[in-house]
Amino acid sequence: MTTATLFSPLTIRETEFRNRLWVAPMCQYSAEKQDGVPTDWHLAHLGSFASGGVGLIITEATAVTAAGRISPQDLGLYNDEQQAAFTRINALLHEQGTATGIQLAHAGRKASTFRPWADDKGTVPESLGGWQTVAPSAIPFPGYATPVALTVPEIEQIVEDFRVAARRSIDAGFDVIELHAAHGYLMHEFLSPLSNERTDAYGGSLENRARFVLDVVRAVRGEVGEGVPLFVRFSATDWVEQGGWDVEQTTTVAGWARDAGADFFDVSSGGNVTGVKIPVAPLYQVELAAHLRSEGNVPVSAVGLITTAAEAAEVVASGRADAVMMGRQFLRDPHFALRAAHELGVSLDYWPPQYARALFR
């Protein structure tokens, strides 16, 4: 493995990614009519990454039911209008040669919140278009409304919602499905003992806390067939000393998820508890990804404060991850992948011809 490995192709099931520099999922909180439908903003936003040469774009957290949206302005994929809008976006992204993935999500106790730039914070009240949130247990996230604990039939219904959204994702043209099991949203809430105090088959032991995630993995794999890459994004730790979700449990559950039909793990951290000390620094989550890769023997991507071409290339060349995702760096510079290849001395045959003159002064 060398510096250039970042720009070598990777194949998972029937999808070939042209390189290993990928766009991390990033919510835009910009559905205009609060109907979960992607707009021209999403087309331009995602389109710029595609023309900028990335290997995969994962769309923002996209809810499998209206109640699973993080904010009223979040995207969803549970009706035909949403599906049609995603189909149009996928056509543009594919024309630019990138693979596309959708992050399917349910926000659980962190649903129905004001978008980040709103004057108000916390849970949107029902009088302003918010809704009652749900979770494994009736434990509120600090500063948010208390959720209602899900019944078993309700849990089974959400598994079904993921299955149906996965079908819509494939029909809309996505190459990859990623399940959002990170950042304190519903799947992570089931996994962590800090948010799951259930005493039934979905709480208690690691097997029980992992049941919901694994049920969704199996349902989605059963729906999409054998060709489609299925990713899971985990928070690999709650960053608490004891009694929380940690990298050992994540590694075990990643192995179970692989056996249940998942292919690839996008390793993030945090989001389920407040007041913890997170050692935020360049590349701070890379060792978590490397742990899953070496101890769990699963392919992974690393994400989190990886901002330069040299850092991304080194993460892959050192074998700590199979791919790198970046978030904010792509917001600063949507064509960062082209620039990174140029900096690393890798020539790409997919530089858009419309932009070829930028290669020369």
Residue 11 — φ and ψ, nearest 5°? -115, 130
327 binds ligand FMN (CB under 6 A): yes
Nearer to ligand FMN, 155 or 324 (CB): 324
CB of 339 to ligand FMN, least distance (A): 15
Residue written as tokens 């099931």?
13
Coil, strand, or helix at residue 234?
strand
Residue written as tokens 């049920």?
215
CB of 182 to ligand FMN, least distance (A): 5
CB of 124 to ligand FMN, least distance (A): 17
How many CB atoms within 10 Å of residue 274? Answer: 10
Which of these segments, 80-88, 119-127, 175-183, 211-219, binds ligand FMN (CB under 6 A)? 175-183
180 binds ligand FMN (CB under 6 A): yes
42 binds ligand FMN (CB under 6 A): no
Residue written as tokens 């099991």?
181
Nearer to ligand FMN, 303 or 338 (CB): 303
Contact 135, 149 (CB under 8 A): yes
46 binds ligand FMN (CB under 6 A): no
Residues in Cβ contact with 309 at an 8 Å cutoff, skipping those fewer than 6 apart: 6, 339, 340, 341, 343, 344
Which of these segments, 47-55, 255-263, 325-333, 338-346, binds ligand FMN (CB under 6 A)? 325-333
Nearer to ligand FMN, 202 or 231 (CB): 231
Q: Which of 317, 325, 299, 345 is nearest to 49 (CA)?
A: 325
What CA–CA distance (Å, rounded) separates 31 from 202? Answer: 33
- Which amino acid is it at 62? T
90 binds ligand FMN (CB under 6 A): no
Site string for ligand FMN, 207-246 (x = CB under 6 A): --------------------------x-------------
Active site residues: 185
Which residue of 79, 152, 243, 328 would you call a contact of ligand FMN, by CB under 6 A? 328
Nearest 5 degrees, angle CA 97-CA 101-CA 104?
Answer: 165
Which residue of 31, 61, 67, 75 would you call a contact of ligand FMN, by CB under 6 A? 61
Which of these segments, 40-48, 179-187, 255-263, 334-342, binds ligand FMN (CB under 6 A)? 179-187
Report the DSSP pairing between strands 264-268 and 300-302: parallel
Segment 258-262 long-range contacts (CB within 8 Å, at least 24 positions apart): 258/296, 258/298, 260/214, 260/217, 260/218, 260/221, 261/217, 261/218, 261/220, 261/221, 261/222, 261/230, 262/179, 262/217, 262/221, 262/230, 262/231, 262/232
Position of minimal CB gap to ligand FMN:
327
272 binds ligand FMN (CB under 6 A): no
Nearer to ligand FMN, 172 or 351 (CB): 172
Give the binding site for ligand FMN (CB under 6 A): 24-27, 60-61, 103, 180, 182-183, 233, 268, 303-306, 326-329
